[in-house]
Amino acid sequence: IRRSCLIGTGSALPARRVSNAELAETIDTSDEWIQERTGIGARHLAGEGETTATLAADAAKKAIEAAGITAADISVIVLATATPDQTFPSSASKVQDLIGAKNAFAFDVAAVCSGFLYAMATADALLKTPAGAPANGRQCALVIGSETFSRILDWEDRGTCVLFGDGAGAVILEARDFPAGEMAAAPGVIASRLHTDGAHNELLYVDGGPSTTGTVGKLRMKGREVFRHAVTNLADVLREVMEEAGIAADQLDWVVPHQANARILDATAKKLGLPAEKVVKTVGEHANTSAASVPLALDVAVRDGRIQPGQLVMLEAMGGGFTWGACLLRL
């Protein structure tokens, strides 16, 4: 039986780190307000020459190195982003060129903060029924979440601009076959669930686009309503995936959630009876990096030794659309 196994992770942050105190020099806000409402202490903001595709390529190179493969071994690149370098071509195409993954086909997926979950489910499906030829005899997917939200923020709107940061995270998945009798302990993606409810566009959206205003637009959000939907939807989809996999919350070794806001993370964990120590939290240093947040947090926890081979890890996210999803995998 085929599984998409996670064999490497990587991440990249822009060079410039901006603390709450630094933001408060130009925006009518304070470190106390931001910390108390969101748990955010700092974020990284892209500077000149740093784009969604360059950050993605940096994260990808680290994931490739960690996986012990070469770029030529990759047969598909799926990049989740809501802030592509250009309307077209896809940022994934640019990454393919930047890293020299000449055997890969590449495309972007757009599901905002849930984008990485959508990209994982897509890559998992493509590895099980490959649409491309094997690359160097392997079936490897490069799955990336990369964003430069700083470029679509309204820096005059203190209710949103303090919440987001830029960055990228990447993983390598490889298709491997296991005997039916060994599936209980086999690594790889065990179950994924994705959802969309398009009826709430006005709660979280960008007020521009190529086919409407002909502009890039700025992010708009009704924070309080988004918060309410997020906690309910995330708890539902987590239960759904655990039921599908036949596991209980106390069997999870780690939950790596989308890092929107510490209060959403705490409220969701509480609703499911998950101890806070099992939830990887990086929002304090990265803020909300949209589609990049899950793979960024995953890479941090893999590299600092918290997440170990063989462990059961749940990824989850909710974002504009609304879109939400979860993915259970064994490392």
CB of 314 to ligand ACO, least distance (A): 18
Among 9, 11, 103, 261, binds ligand ACO (CB under 6 A): 261
The amino acid that residue 32 corresponds to is E
CB of 121 to ligand ACO, least distance (A): 18
Opening angle at CA 116, ends 114 and 121, nearest 5: 100
For residues 254 and 72, give the distance between their C-alpha atoms in angstroms, rounded to a whole number. Answer: 32
Smaller CB distance to ligand ACO: residue 66 or 260? 260
For residues 152 and 321, give the distance between their C-alpha atoms in angstroms, rounded to a whole number. Answer: 17
For residues 85 and 54, give the distance between their C-alpha atoms in angstroms, rounded to a whole number. Answer: 9
Residues 267-326 that bind ligand ACO (CB under 6 A): 288, 290, 318-320
Asked whether position 158 contacts ligand ACO by CB under 6 A, the answer is yes
What b/e readout covers 151-164, taking b as 16+ CB neighbours within 10 angstroms? ebbeeeebebbbbb
CB of 157 to ligand ACO, least distance (A): 8
Among 223, 244, 266, 271, binds ligand ACO (CB under 6 A): 223
Smaller CB distance to ligand ACO: residue 159 or 210? 159
CB of 159 to ligand ACO, least distance (A): 4
Residues 67-86 that bind ligand ACO (CB under 6 A): none
Among 105, 107, 178, 227, binds ligand ACO (CB under 6 A): 227
Residues 49-68 that bind ligand ACO (CB under 6 A): none
Smaller CB distance to ligand ACO: residue 57 or 219? 219
CB 148 within 8 A of CB 50: yes
DSSP for 212-281 reads TTSS---EEE-HHHHHHHHHHHHHHHHHHHHHHHT--GGG-SEEEE--S-HHHHHHHHHHHT--GGGB--
CB of 40 to ligand ACO, least distance (A): 9
Size of the site for ligand ACO (CB under 6 A): 26
Neighbours of 220 (CB within 10 A): 16
Residues 203-222 that bind ligand ACO (CB under 6 A): 204, 221
For residues 196 and 306, give the distance between their C-alpha atoms in angstroms, rounded to a whole number. Answer: 32
Closest residue to ligand ACO using C-beta atoms: 223
Phi-psi domain of 104 (left: phi exceeds 0; alpha: psi -120 through 50; beta: other): beta
Q: What amino acid positions are annotated as catalytic residues?
A: 113, 258, 288
Return residues touching ligand ACO (CB under 6 A).
Answer: 29, 33-34, 37-38, 112-113, 158-159, 162, 204, 221, 223-224, 226-227, 230, 260-261, 263-264, 288, 290, 318-320
